[in-house]
Structure formats: C-alpha cells, structure tokens
Amino acid sequence: MSRILVVDDEANIRILYAEELSEEGYEVVTAAGTAEAIEKLQQMEFDLAVLDIKLKNESGIDLLQKLVKERHDMPVVLCSAFSCYKDDFSAWLADGYIVKSGDLSELKQEIARVLAKKTQRARGGQ
Amino acid sequence: MKAVIMAGGFGTRIQPLTSSLPKPMIPLFNRPIMLHIVELLKKHDITDLVMLLYHQPEVIKKFFRDGSDFGVKITYVTPLQDMGTAGAVKAAEKYLKERFLVISGDLLTDFNLKKVIDFHNDKKAMATITLTSVKDPLQFGVVITDKDKRITQFLEKPGWGEVISDTINTGIYVLEPDIFRYIPDGENFDFSQDLFPSMLENKDPLFGFPAKGYWRDIGNTDSYREAYHDIFRGKVNLKIDEPKQDFVGKDLRIGADVTLEDASGLEGTVVVGDNTQVQGGVHIKDSVIGRNCTIERGVRLSRCVIWDNAYVKKGARIVDSVVCTNVRIGQSAHLEEGVIVADDTSIGDEAVIKADVKIWPRKLIEAGSIVTSNMIWGEKWKKSLFEGAIIKGLSNVELTPEFCAKLGCAYGTTLPKGSFVLAGRDSNRSSRMLKRSFVGGILSAGVNVRDMKMTSLPLLRYKLKTFGEVGGFHFRQGQDDPTSMEIVFLDGDGLDFSSSMAKNAERIFYKENFRRAHHSEPGAITDINNVADFYREGFLRALDREVLKKAAWTVVIDFNYSPASQILPLILNELGCNVIALNAYVDEGRGVKRTMEKQPALEQLSKIVNSLNAQAGFWLDPTAEAITLLDETGRILDGIELLTLMTNLTLRSGQKGVIAVPVQAPSNIEQMAVQKRCQVTRTKSSDRAMLEAASSTEVILAGSTDGRFALPRFQAAFDGMFAIARLIELGASVGIPLSRALVEAPASAYLQTSLPCVWEMKGGIMRKMSEDSLDKEATFIDGIKVHFGDEWVLVLPDQYFPCVHIVAEAKDQKTAHRLLAEYQKKVENWKKELE
C-alpha cells in the first residue's frame, strides 16, 4: 500500500483528500504546513506527497525545493487553486500539477501515473 | 501545300513525361503524338512539311529523318532562341512562299483539314483560325466571330466573368505568306497575342472556321490520360500500328513477337507492343502496353498506359496510371489512379503509390513503401519514416515545408486533444523554417505547442522530465550530412520515441487519417523562456560546488557554434572554473562541413590546452549530447578511452551503483566495477535502450562508446554539458591528472570494423553466426557476442544502414587483430553462400 503525504492549510481539503485517497487504497497522512510536513517526513517514509502551493504565510514551492534536495526519490504532485504556477519554473521540479477541483478524479489519476512512473524507474525503466 | 508543325515546346506542364522526351515525341498508342499529326496531314494530302524544333531537336530528327519512311518530305528549322509561335514560323519564311497550314505537334485531332483550307479559299482570307467549342474555355484563347465568320474579338485565357463564348483557337491556322510582313525579324512574336490582334486592328481578312470533330491539347498529364480514355471510348479514330486480332467482343491489337499466354483476361481495347510477354492469369482492361515489356502472372491493369521496356511483377495492380520507359513495378505493388512513374524507376514489392502521385525519373521506392506525395528530387522513398526516434531527410528536398506540416498533423493526431508539446531547434535556418511548418501541423490537430525556440536537446529533455508536456521534438541539422535535417521525437519523459510511438505516427501519416481541429479549437503556441534557468538550478544542485571551486580548473571548450555556448560557460564560471570558450557564439550560417572540420578543430584545441596548461579540453558536439575529451597533455581520447576514463573516475570517487554500457563496450568496464563492488548492466546499442537503463534509480552512469553520457543524478539523458561538468568534478575530487586516471584503468586491445551487407542478407548472416556459435559461450543482447575467456567478438547488424559491425576485444593487439580478421572472413564467406 502506497503512503501519501497531503500538505494543505485548509482542514476541509485535508479531510476530503484523506477520505477519497483512502478509499482508493492509499495510506494517507496529512500536514497543515511546512513544519508539520517535515516532522511527518522525519517520522516515516512516504511514496508521494500532494502539496498545496499557497500555505497561509508559507510557500509550497519552498517546501518543494527542500523535498527535491533532501528527498529526491519521493515524487511530489502540486495541487493549487491557481493554474498560473504552471509557468513558474520552480514548480517544474514537481512530478505533477493539478488545478484543484471538487472532482478528485484528475488528482487520483495523476497520483496513479506518478507512482507508476516511480515504480518503473525503480525497476530500471523496463 | 506545305504544313508547318510546331514542335519546339519544353513540355514543362506535362512533366515528368517529358523528362527524357520532347513533348511531341511522347507516345500515344505506342507512336509519338506528332506522328498522328503527320498521318492526319498526309490523309489530307499535305506531305511537304516544315518542322519547327527547339527543345531536344535531335530526338525528333532521329525519329522522322527526311520523312520518307512516313511518306512525307520534311524540312527542319531550328531557331537559335525562343522566338514565340509566330517568330518561329518567321524563321522558316524562306520555305513558305505560298499558302501554308500551321499545326501544333502535340494535338490529338481528327479535324477535316481540307474543309479548313477550302473555307480559307472561299473567304479569300489572309489568315484562318480553326475554332472549336470546349466546355472549359478558361485556359485557351476565346475567339468571337460575326455571322460571316470574320473574327471580331480575341480574349486570351479569360476569367469566367469574361467568358462570352466557348469557341476557342485550336492552334491550327491557314496563312498566306503576306502575314510575314507583320512579323518582325529576330523578335519574340506570338500568333494569338501579337499577330492576330494586329491583323484585327488593320481590318485584314481574318476568319475563324468552326471545325467539327475531336480536338484535344495534350498539355498536362491529366489531359494525356484523358486522351487515352477518349480513344478507348471511340470518341476519336487513331491509327494503331499493332494489327487487330480476331477475337469476338474484344478490341485486341497485338504487335509482332508478342507472347500472350491467355487472352481470356483481356477486356475492352488492349494494345500490346512488339516483343512483349504477357503471362497468364492477368486481367487487363482498356490499356496500352509498349514494346519489350513483361507483364507477369496475376497482374491487373485498368486504363493503363505502359511505355517500352517495363517489367510488371506478379500480382501488381495499376489503375489509370502512366508507367514510362524502363520502369520496374514490384510484386503486388499497387499504383492508384492518376499515378505517373517516370523513366528508369524501380517500385519495390508491395509498395503503394497513392492516387495522383508523380514520381520523377531514376527513383528507387523501397519495398513496402507508401508514397503519398510527388517525389521529384530525392533518390529514395523509404519504407519507414523513422530511424529509431529520428526522421531524417534532405532539407527542403525530402523534408519540405508541406511534408513537415503533414508530419506535424500526424504527430499531433497521436496526442490527446488540448495537450501540450515542447518544441526546440538548433541554430540552423532550415531547422527554423521546417519547424514552423511542423508546428502548424500540430496546431491543426488541436494540440498546443510550447516553443523553446533555439535550444540544446539536453535542455528540452530536462524540461520534459517535469509535468506539463506529453512529448517534444527537436529540429537539427543532420549529424552526418549538413544538407539533411533531423527531427528528434521525444516522449513525455524526455526519452527517445519508442518504436510503437513511431509506428503510430507513421500509420496516421501514410493513411492521412488526421484529426483536424474545429476552426475554433486549433492549438496555441506559447513561448517558454526560462527553461535555461531551471536547467541551471538543477545542474548546480547535482554537483559538488565546494570541490569544483577549490580545484578551480582551467578548461578549453570548443562549443562548435551551438546554443550550449549561451549556458555552459556561465555555469562553469559560477562553479569556479576558468573557461576558455572557442566558437562560443551562435552562427546560423555555420554548421556545414563541420564533420570535416572536427579533426583540425581538435588539433587546434590540443595546442591551446597545451599552451594554456589547462587541465582538460573538450569538443562539444553541435547537438550538445556528445563530447570529445583532450587530457591535460592535449592528447585526444577516442570514445572507448573516454568511457574507460569516465568509469574509472566515477568508481574512484566512491559512488556506488550500477554502470550501464552497450553490448559493444570493452570488458575493462566490468573489471573496474568488480574491484569497487559495483555492477555493470549491458544494454542494447540503441539510444532508447541505454536511456531506459539510465532511468533506473540504481544507475550512476550510462555511457556509450561515442562520447555520450547520461548521469541520472542530474538527468537520465545524454547531456554533453553536464558530462563536461561531471568530468571536471570527478577529476578534481580524485585529484589526479586525467592522463594518469586513464593509464590506471585496465588496458585492452579493442578493434572494430564494418562490412557492407544488403538488408535482405542481414538475417541470414545472423543465422550463420548463430549456427557458428552453437558450441561456444555466446550472449544475445544485441547481435551475437561470442566469448573466448577474456576475449570476445561481437557481430552486430546495423539498425539503419546496410552494413554489419564486427567488434573484437583481446588482451593484446595481435589477438584482437586475429579475431577481427577471422570473423571478417567468416562474414564475407557467409555473404557469398547466401548470394
């Protein structure tokens, strides 16, 4: 079972994502901000992180930079209410980008795609 | 009475039928068109002929000679320059002292010429123009007459709005010698544009005779085919040399020495020229076959024109097409309607030539090809578009803007509507021109394009690793041939196109099964400018800056005028390197002859490395994927030495993981890896196979034998820029000169050669090699590699060229030479056995 870290400052989003992704068979751990996310990352291993870009006074992009540097084998899917960050090259470090929507099917598809790619990479690209 | 036959035209509009013949000599039912005109004149008792020649006069003279073989007397006049129609007749003035008739040599008509002459006499005309009515008068000169048939108005090639009559000038005139006073000497002068309007202005007796009967100007290939259709339908009577056979219900005309195995499959009018062989089981309807042809079993011809010396292999299907002289049509090949195949061309087995395609002379269409557009200049139409992930062709000859637009549309059709692709090109002007057309095609399929414009391929691949685009492509000047263009296709991960992706695009291209976006939904183009910054960030993150800054190497880099020169020097300077950059500017005019320029450039680089006491010199390939290394002594390392050095340094730096090398790489890679408890993965020799291996998280280095490296810590793609930085970092961290690092590596004698081998024989050679290796230790990753203890030989058929590679490695040169020679001889013998 793949374990996913969901980082979002909105409690309702965290609950929604956790419920929906759990139903998909993932183990979901949530964090409300950068500090909590780092704490969770120190406690356990994750297969993927779903990261909001605007986190109250913090920037999800900064956290993304940190994750890429320190946990480069863990893919990150950015999840934002804004599509404009797609053109920000700092965001290109992520493995996926989803514009937030009430319909979570795109998010689920992207998570599945990125995880499959990760597995493929680990197997040597075969 | 004399007649002037106008036979000087170039026949440009009817190409490629006129590629080796002047237009009047094009065969119509196995005789030159002009011979039918001569027969018509003879029929009306005009046997004293003046032939006006200009283009390829010798072909016409050789055929007609003095005319006695055809019952006429011929005088040839060949003006020295293009004088126009009336000007050319003026050149023959001394032979035209009495009333004469003028007629074109490339008409098909059965007009009663006597009636035209009688009309001229009755009217006491100075000039009579023969007129006829046509459905589409736009391409002709319209003539208006009054009730006495006196001409009142000319309209040269009118638009539909100007058409006031369907009566046109047929180019058949009866003229009095008086007209010569209107025609100036030595000037370009035309009958319909100059002479007749002058006569009209002067109120000279100029009449138009509306002739009854058949008339057709055989001006283009469609008209040529339609002339045959009209003859098949009996619209016009024509003299046919081949005698009529007595078959009820069939109109068979069979020449001398013809072998016709079975006439039951012949239908309608079928003409077979002398010495032609038609085998059984054929179905031939309304067709004309020339002399010395062979039509094999099961061939189906319908409304076809086949000139002399053609060979149509069994099962071929040809519909309403023209096959010129010395053409070979392969087994089960299919020529759709309206195809023209010019002289000396070979169509491969099972090839398909799509409707209305014209193939110019001396072409080779490979077996199984599908030809969808006119083939004019290139020599070859390939069976498949792709060579691996690349489409290659001569710029603006094979890869034309229109071809690229279609290709772009085919590529776009393979991708989801509304998705994004990444575009890039090198500095070459042709790359820019063709990329623009290609982008147009993509947009038409409803796919968006993010344009990186001029960039290096490694940057494009790097961006593709991120989200956003489902694929990418890069236009660049050919690596082996500066006149050619290469389009590199990449998937959404920046990897080379897989064969299934290539086949998908190819299938859509050939079937023209394009997805055309609705007018409101074509794709959009956006420029993407900050990829270089993104690349730079990742590049710096993947290196040990401290080590590099401390070592502060001086390196000389020849950038070969590539866009890499705009990025790498800045990054290396930031890492504390002193970079002496050569040819570090982008020059759109550069690029040609660069392969030939490499050796002198390397020698120059070597001198500079020596004189500046630099730690290394690099020659960066224009694609920025491959490098050539010069050590601190200025010695130029070959690809095998560079791979050995890179492996040795990587292992000495203490990095643990897997090293991926192709099957033909030397075995000292394994020897070095074992010492450091690392593993080696042998891959197939294709780029994609190597890069797929590099995608594994365990791989620390993937290296080819031609100076290309993928360093997955940064990106799992060949990147010459990062390879340079990594080599400097490794050299600095290990702390020994590069020359010493190479000496330390286990040495071996490594030799390779290539032998020419036709495609059809490659399989046979490998079967022989396989049989020969039965009792030996062999591996079959790519080709067949036979191991003799520490020594080995690899026989590897080339994927894209008609050759086989032989690689041998041994402990000493003598053994390697012996092994190479032994297998070279074996392959040569197998080739002889297979012939």
* pLDDT level of residue B766 (50, 70, 90 thresholds): confident
**B692 inside 8 A of chain A by CB:** yes
**A84 inside 8 A of chain B by CB:** no
Please report, as a single letter, which amino acid is at residue B274.
D
A90 vs B contacts (CB less than 8 Å): 534
Instruction: Read off the pLDDT of each residue in B103-122 and give the average, rounded to a whole number.
Output: 95
Percent of chain B clearing pLDDT 70 (strictly above):
97
**A12 inside 8 A of chain B by CB:** no
* pLDDT level of residue B507 (50, 70, 90 thresholds): confident
A95 vs B contacts (CB less than 8 Å): 466-467
For residue B134, pLDDT over 90 is answered with: no
Which residue in the set A69, A90, A121 is minimally distant from B696, CB to CB?
A121
pTM: 0.75
Which residue from A minimizes the CA distance to B700?
A124
**A120 inside 8 A of chain B by CB:** yes
Percent of chain A clearing pLDDT 90 (strictly above):
56
Q: Distance (Å) from the C-alpha of residue B616 to the closest C-alpha of chain A? A: 30
Q: Do B696 and A125 make contact, defined as CB atoms within 8 angstroms?
A: yes
Instruction: Read off the pLDDT of each residue in B619-644 and give the average, rounded to a whole number.
Output: 94
Q: Do B697 and A122 make contact, defined as CB atoms within 8 angstroms?
A: yes
CB A48 within 8 A of CB A115: yes
Rounded Cα–Cα distance for residues B539 and B523 (Å)? 32
A93 vs B contacts (CB less than 8 Å): 466, 538
β partners of residue B809:
B750, B792
* pLDDT level of residue B589 (50, 70, 90 thresholds): low
Q: Do A97 and B541 make contact, defined as CB atoms within 8 angstroms?
A: no
Neighbours of A89 (CB within 10 A): 17
B696 vs A contacts (CB less than 8 Å): 121-125
Tokens of residue B540, six digits: 């710096």
CB A86 within 8 A of CB B558: no
Tokens of residue B179, six digits: 């007209």
Which residue from A minimizes the CA distance to B450?
A87
**A75 inside 8 A of chain B by CB:** no
Rounded Cα–Cα distance for residues B825 and B835 (Å)? 16
For residue B130, pLDDT over 70 is answered with: yes
Contact pairs from chain A to chain B, CB under 8 Å: 50
- Tens of pLDDT along B238-269? 889 999 987 777 889 999 999 999 989 999 99
- Tens of pLDDT along A38-88? 999 999 999 999 999 988 888 898 999 888 888 888 999 998 888 777 777
Q: Do A69 and B541 make contact, defined as CB atoms within 8 angstroms?
A: yes
Instruction: Read off the pLDDT of each residue in B784-809 and give the average, rounded to a whole number.
Output: 89
For residue B353, pLDDT over 70 is answered with: yes
**B698 inside 8 A of chain A by CB:** yes
N-term to C-term CA, chain A? 22
**A25 inside 8 A of chain B by CB:** no
- Tens of pLDDT along B683-706? 988 888 899 899 888 999 999 999
Which residue in the set B467, B693, B697 is minimally distant from A95, CB to CB?
B467
pLDDT (0 to 100) of residue A124: 60
Taking alpha carbons only, the member of B370, B292, B286 closest to residue B327 is B292
Please report, as a single letter, which amino acid is at residue B715.
Q
β partners of residue B619:
B558, B628
B466 vs A contacts (CB less than 8 Å): 92-95
Q: Do A117 and B693 make contact, defined as CB atoms within 8 angstroms?
A: no
Q: Do A92 and B699 make contact, defined as CB atoms within 8 angstroms?
A: no
Which residue in the set B466, B468, B693 is minimally distant from A125, CB to CB?
B693
Rounded Cα–Cα distance for residues B313 and B295 (Å)? 7
Which residue from B minimizes the CA distance to A83?
B468
Rounded Cα–Cα distance for residues B621 and B602 (Å)? 12
Q: Distance (Å) from the C-alpha of residue B591 to the closest C-alpha of chain A? A: 31
A97 vs B contacts (CB less than 8 Å): 467-468
Q: Do A122 and B534 make contact, defined as CB atoms within 8 angstroms?
A: no
Residues 39-68 of A with CB under 8 A from B: 68
Please report, as a single letter, which amino acid is at residue B249.
G
**A99 inside 8 A of chain B by CB:** no
Higher pLDDT, B568 or B394: B568
Q: Do B693 and A69 make contact, defined as CB atoms within 8 angstroms?
A: no
Least trusted range by pLDDT, from A55-69, B195-209, B813-827: A55-69
Higher pLDDT, B466 or B646: B646
Residue of B422, B448, B466, B467 to mutate when probing chain A, most A C-beta within 10 A: B467
DSSP A50: E
**B146 inside 8 A of chain A by CB:** no
CB B367 within 8 A of CB B350: yes
For residue B412, pLDDT over 90 is answered with: yes
DSSP B497: P
pLDDT (0 to 100) of residue A125: 47
Which residue from A minimizes the CA distance to B528?
A87
As a dihedral over the C-alpha atoms of residue B408, residue B410, residue B414, residue B418, rounded to 10 degrees, the angle is: 50
CB B6 within 8 A of CB B103: yes
pLDDT (0 to 100) of residue B482: 82
**B28 inside 8 A of chain A by CB:** no
Neighbours of B4 (CB within 10 A): 23
- Tens of pLDDT along B639-670? 999 999 999 999 999 999 999 999 999 999 99
For residue B174, pLDDT over 80 is answered with: yes
Q: Distance (Å) from the C-alpha of residue B447 to the closest C-alpha of chain A? A: 17
For residue B312, pLDDT over 90 is answered with: yes
**B534 inside 8 A of chain A by CB:** yes
For residue B194, pLDDT over 50 is answered with: yes
**B464 inside 8 A of chain A by CB:** no
DSSP B203: T
